[in-house]
Structure 1
Amino acid sequence: MPPDYPPSRVNPLDPPPRFAHLRAHEPVSLVRTPHGETVWLVTRYADARFVLGDPRFSSDPANPGFPQIRPAPEGPRMPGIFLSMDPPEHGRYRRMLTGEFTVRRMAALRPGIQAVVRDCLAGLLGQGPPADLMSAFARPLPALVICDLLGVPFADREFFAGRSEIQLDRSRPGHEVTAAMAELWDYLDGLVARKLADPAADLISRLAVQRVRTGELTKDDLVGMSRLLLVAGHETTANMIGIGMLLLLRRPALWAQLLADPGLVPAAVEELLRHATVVQQGVVRAVLGEVDLGGVRLARGDGVIVSLSSANRDAAVYPEPDELDLQRHAAPHLAFGHGVHQCLGQLLARAELTEAVRALLPVPGLRLAIAPDQVKFRHEMAVYGVRELPVEWH
């Protein structure tokens, strides 16, 4: 019988060591999912890029063989979730949003992001020392930014963050995931209705006016798109800020390196994204037609899991891949995926991460308030991270 997926971590700050063995000896191998399916696991960088960029690998869960690696909601697929669509349907939805996430648009948003970061930093400093960097800084920062961008009231953060967490919890039964998704859907359905009746200067309002009123999108399409953007727009970045700061503060020499040369921060962010890839469950696909991959013949109806965290530790691409090297110059990492489904909001995430680290650098004597081995991790979550990160300063 194939080994279970996902394998266990030994060091909470590194991917499971089994991935290194598989990259070296069996880069495309069979594994057994928590739901009893036997699917292919892809662990090397080159093979991962191939799968994510080839149209013979489908993102649509309706296709035979599509792997189920966390509790599946009950009922039909929700409209507007373009991450789970293939071209050309996927492109129709994504093109409606690309203008909102361009380099020029991010430059226009930067002063607002910096203001949010300053406010969150003031909140952190006002709580301590010591204070929990997660609850006071890392979680509210991307939530405030995405709420402002979408037009979602930040006062409702506890509600939507709680429902998002249930959806991403691999230990939850399917009926709980379904209930959480339904509650978030109802909330956003009401919000979209209000935007249609009384538009404001936000992304959901613009889509309501330009796409729903014209018949290009249904109201349900916009609700689904809004849900995807809201959940993706705060969960991954919040957890990346937390685990990234843990990686930097647990090794004071790395933090000192940034203090000595703040110009390294953008490169450091890229290295942190590679090293601590938080989408720990991987990316799933169904095979649409026969294809050779890493010396293995895959058939139509086979399921595939691409381990982004394994691909980002591939020694064939990254010398000394397990080292956190803030001056690394290497191939682009796969933390945001690859191909047509590559993360739409990656420029926004990079801006938030960069401004977060820059804002924390001047905090005098910033350090962990507990031993690194006391930090609790989100092992059961689809998006990996730390639960709390107590810090202190002078």
Structure 2
Amino acid sequence: MTGAMEIVELTDDFYQDPHATYRALRERGPLHRIRANGVVGWLIVDHEVAKQAFAEPAISKRIGSPEGQAVLAKNGAAELFNTAISDNMLFTDPPQHTRLRRLVAKAFAGPAIRDLQPRITAIADALLDDIGERTAVDLIDSYAFQLPTAVICELLGVPDADKADFRSWTAAVVNDSATLEERTAAGISYLTYLSKLIAERTDDPRDDLLSQLIIAKDHEDRLDEHELIAMLLLLLIAGHETTVNLIGNSVLELLRDPARAERLRTNPEAIPAYLEEILRCHGSLHVATVRYTTAPITLGGTDIDAGEFILISLAAANRDPARFTDPDRIDLERPESRHIAFGHGIHHCLGATLARVEGTIAISRLLTKFPDISLDGEFSDLTWRKSLLIHGLTNLPVRPAGPAESHPVSDADADRRPLLV
């Protein structure tokens, strides 16, 4: 039972080299009791057991429910979540999850996503033009953060005059080092603005994701305004964090291996395969968003009581040697790996396709523009965010080192180049 296994403390050293901890834990078994930042839970480090946990009906995601809140309080996480964050599709179970996903899935497969590639390319090029005017920049702040934020503005149809405010609110909402007051003020401004934007799009639909979500229906069922705002907040936080760190982690590995960077620059068709390996080997998340047991279960040969946190380590599962040959190595020729960086089963990330498109364009345009980009400093000086959820750098100082030949821009592309305010 839960009291029979010792609790493993995850110290600050864990965040700087998590895979050393994961390897040591995996040798002792598929799951372990851990404590991190005061939070206690069961950490799964095995690929097969992780997939079982994703599908286990006695494991719930309803952390906003009274039962979920009780589990948060019991395991030291009461202050980490609130209903404003948890009241969305990500933190629901069937049948509510089934209903919400069915309503929004068509919008995420529609023209608002499909036709966005030229705009993402134009946005990336504009950001890189600005970076090229500087000797050294923080690539996280100047590129990895700016690109998905601008793309979200495009998806929602945020007018140019409002983009500066929207980006400042976004920066505060997703900044885990901002004060509670700063995040609260930004969240209020953000939610107020979204309500206004929803009203405008309801009266005047356009070819953007927000309009598609407003009109999405299943027979007579639609998203109400509360559900729309919750969905947009999920898009902002979950989608944004995934893409920022996918870009940042991808660039870091290219800086470590200039030969691979040159290979991808001259053979951009290999970039999608590279990104899949980054997702598997250096993904944006340590663990999947929290779950808890609603009844006693047996998982990976271990009995677990009801009311326990279940933390599925995507990072550990995706380097499980029982599932992947030579799992710590980036292998562009690796056969279809079926990693679980975007989750598994009914909660597989709806934004996975968009994240892959953004990541592919971001890396392709960066390598074309700056073939000699280099780290501005020492790799040993880089630090990782102290988050059990997010696996991302605090910053990534680089020297563009001079652009390559100017990339050709067609007249059509020139017309689409964004004005970044």
Contact 2:25 2:45 in 1 (8 A): yes
Counterpart of 2:299, as a letter, is L
SS at match of 1:163: helix
CA distance in 2, matches of 1:296, 1:175: 42
CA distance in 2, matches of 1:80, 1:204: 18
Contact 1:131 1:391 in 2 (8 A): yes
Contact 1:189 1:220 in 2 (8 A): no
Q: Give the corresponding residue for 1:120.
A: 127
CA distance in 1, matches of 2:227, 2:384: 35
After the TM superposition, which of the residue ranges 76-85 and 146-155 deviates more from structure 2? 76-85
CA distance in 1, matches of 2:280, 2:131: 27
Q: Which runs of 4+ in 1 moved over 6 A?
A: 171-176
Equivalent in 81, 88, 99 of residue 88 of structure 2: 81
SS at match of 1:292: strand
Deviations 1:122-165 (A, max 9, x none): 2222x323333223322211111121112234322433223322
1:136 and 1:199, CA in 2 relative to 1: closer, same or farther beyond 3 A? same
Shift of 1:285: 1.1
Q: Give the corresponding residue for 1:54.
A: 56
Q: Give the corresponding residue for 1:280.
A: 286
Q: Give the corresponding residue for 1:3.
A: 7
CA distance in 1, matches of 2:7, 2:297: 23
Deviations 1:1-53 (A, max 9, x none): 843554444683x42422111112122211235345x4211111111111112
1:133 counterpart = 2:136:
no
Contact 2:286 2:314 in 1 (8 A): yes
After the TM superposition, which of the residue ranges 254-263 and 293-302 deviates more from structure 2? 254-263
Contact 2:58 2:294 in 1 (8 A): yes
1:254 and 1:31, CA in 2 relative to 1: closer, same or farther beyond 3 A? same
Number of aligned residues: 386
Q: Sequence identity, in percent?
A: 33
1:78 and 1:357, CA in 2 relative to 1: closer, same or farther beyond 3 A? closer
After the TM superposition, which of the residue ranges 63-72 and 237-246 deviates more from structure 2? 63-72
CA distance in 1, matches of 2:140, 2:184: 27
Equivalent in 346, 359, 383 of residue 390 of structure 2: 383
| Residue ranges of structure 1 left out of the alignment (5+ in a row) | none
Contact 2:61 2:91 in 1 (8 A): yes
Contact 2:275 2:359 in 1 (8 A): yes
CA distance in 2, matches of 1:97, 1:135: 30
Q: Give the corresponding residue for 2:20.
A: 17
CA distance in 1, matches of 2:252, 2:15: 14
Counterpart of 1:236, as a letter, is T
Q: Give the corresponding residue for 1:42.
A: 44
SS at match of 1:332: coil
Provide TM-score, normalisation by structure 2: 0.82
Shift of 1:210: 4.8
Deviations 1:177-232 (A, max 9, x none): 666544433332233233334443322233334569x7733212211111111222
Equivalent in 174, 193, 200 of residue 194 of structure 1: 200
1:148 counterpart = 2:154:
yes
1:7 and 1:295, CA in 2 relative to 1: closer, same or farther beyond 3 A? farther
Counterpart of 1:31, as a letter, is I
Contact 2:128 2:366 in 1 (8 A): yes
1:186 and 1:5, CA in 2 relative to 1: closer, same or farther beyond 3 A? farther
Counterpart of 2:344, as a letter, is H
Q: Give the corresponding residue for 1:161.
A: 170
Contact 2:215 2:222 in 1 (8 A): no
Contact 2:277 2:331 in 1 (8 A): yes
Contact 1:45 1:317 in 2 (8 A): yes
Equivalent in 344, 353, 357 of residue 351 of structure 1: 357
Contact 2:112 2:209 in 1 (8 A): no
Deviations 1:319-350 (A, max 9, x none): 22222223322521111111111111000000
1:379 and 1:182, CA in 2 relative to 1: closer, same or farther beyond 3 A? same
CA distance in 2, matches of 1:370, 1:252: 16
1:249 and 1:192, CA in 2 relative to 1: closer, same or farther beyond 3 A? same
Q: Give the corresponding residue for 1:31.
A: 34
SS at match of 1:31: strand
Shift of 1:354: 0.8
| Residue ranges of structure 2 left out of the alignment (5+ in a row) | 403-421
1:8 and 1:46, CA in 2 relative to 1: closer, same or farther beyond 3 A? farther
CA distance in 1, matches of 2:87, 2:19: 34
1:33 and 1:373, CA in 2 relative to 1: closer, same or farther beyond 3 A? closer
Contact 1:132 1:390 in 2 (8 A): yes
1:215 and 1:159, CA in 2 relative to 1: closer, same or farther beyond 3 A? farther
After the TM superposition, which of the residue ranges 308-317 and 345-354 deviates more from structure 2? 308-317
1:9 and 1:99, CA in 2 relative to 1: closer, same or farther beyond 3 A? farther
1:259 and 1:201, CA in 2 relative to 1: closer, same or farther beyond 3 A? closer
Q: Give the corresponding residue for 1:340.
A: 346
Shift of 1:101: 2.6
SS at match of 2:174: helix
CA distance in 1, matches of 2:78, 2:367: 37
SS at match of 2:173: helix
1:204 and 1:188, CA in 2 relative to 1: closer, same or farther beyond 3 A? same
Contact 1:249 1:255 in 2 (8 A): yes
Q: Give the corresponding residue for 2:251.
A: 245
CA distance in 1, matches of 2:153, 2:128: 18
